[in-house]
Amino acid sequence: MKKPLALFIFLLIVTQLFAQPTPSEKMEDFMTNKAEGFNTAYDQRDLKTFNTLLSEYLSNYENLSAEEKGPYTYILNNIYYNLTCIYALSNDKKMAIMNLSKAIDAGYNDYRHVQSDTDLESIRNEKEFLELNRKLKATGDYLDILKRAHQYNPADSRPIPAFGYQPSDHANLTALREGFKLDSIAGQGSDVLKILNLLHWVHDLVPHDGMHGNPEVKNAMSMLEVCKKENRGLNCRGLSLVLNECYLALGIKSRIVTCLPKDSLKIDVDCHVINSVYSESLNKWLWIDPTFEAYVMNEKGELLSIEEVRERLVNDKPLILNPDANWNNQSQQTKEEYLENYMAKNLYMLECPVSSEYNMESAAEGKTYTYVRLLPLDYFAQDPHKEEEKRDKGNTTWVTYKTNNAGVFWER
């Protein structure tokens, strides 16, 4: 079964236009105009067309800088994987295995998908396939990797800054609340109902658009205006930033949480950003994902936090995904694919901004951006405790504190 290329284009970043097309612009033009051709060629088992498109892709890819290649490498490994499927379906075992090896070398890492993909039946018992499968399991069995990374250190006393939440009477949050009539959207029910009503509203208001970066000014008022004016969407980070500010505007404490993979091979450029929202009535954080309109429950129907979902995945405890979880009101999500595969990969380590506030990630001259990252004990890069990166553009400073103490990270 092919891996749809459209799902992976969300990592691409729009570059600034110049008089002459840059290599990055040429690649983006190729993806805009010809990427769908890969899917058509797959459906028709058209090896000639597929390989012609691959040659053109590689020609553009090789002209990119090392930094620009990142997201396109992620797409390339899926192209090789889909080509593997076509050859396997054509019973050309040698070419199927050769392209599977290329896919893995380029970063293909979806072990779970390989185990269930009926396209690969013709090569599944081949010696070379079994060797590649063992190699893939070590880095791509995401649930197994997460289970091996379950341990934190509650005694870790390394200092981290205290988390803070901007009060709802801040002028910008007040303007957001009144401008979009958030009280009416949230309704008069419990805080949990308000949290879910705002989730549904943002999900339906702005589509997920992973092909492009977010607008330069990253606050809810500005991004919603740009999306309406340009008829565009936001990536997962942009959606979480908008929803985060809506919660803060109603006095509901919320953080954006960047969910990251282990990526020991340094090939996985994908992560996912969701919200951790505090319910006063439940006295706990809640898992809220605007990209997939998703929240998670236990077998009793009780809403769970990110921390609880991770623990339940590790210990094989029941998890229930809300039945209307979806991508852009088009693709329904399943617990198996969303939680046990995609999020199992991205729950390895977690990162939050120290201060949750309006406009917190917009660029500003001389600004310092401070984050805390929660690491499991088996992560290969525990030190230094505090990382500081100076960036010439905008004279900004990016500070990241590391901790193994989940209790401190998830303080109430």
- pLDDT for 41-61, tens place per residue? 999 999 999 999 999 999 999
Is a pLDDT exceeding 90 seen at residue 391? no
pLDDT at residue number 123? 98
Q: Mean pLDDT score of the chain, rounded to an integer?
A: 92
* The pLDDT value given to residue 213: 86
Residue 104 contacts residue 139 (beta carbons within 8 Å): no
Q: How far apart are alpha carbons 243 and 198 in whole angstroms? A: 7
User: Among residues 91, 86, 70, 142, which one has the least CA distance to residue 314?
Assistant: 142
Residue 142 has pLDDT above 60, yes or no: yes
Q: Where are the beta strands (DSSP E) in 107-158?
A: none
Percent over 90 (pLDDT), the chain:
84
Given a contact cutoff of 8 angstroms between Cβ atoms, the answer to whether 255 and 163 are in contact is yes
Weakest mean pLDDT among 7-11, 78-82, 193-197, 398-402: 7-11
Span(s) in the chain for CATH 1.25.40: 5-140
Q: Is the pLDDT of residue 265 over 90?
A: no
d(CA 349, CA 339): 15
219-253: per-residue pLDDT in tens?
999 999 999 999 999 999 999 999 999 999 999 99
What percent of the chain lies above the pLDDT cut of 70? 95
Render pLDDT for 192-203 as a digit per residue (tens, 0 to 9): 999 999 999 999
Position 394 scores a pLDDT of 79
The correct answer on CATH 1.10.3470 for the domain covering 5-140 is no
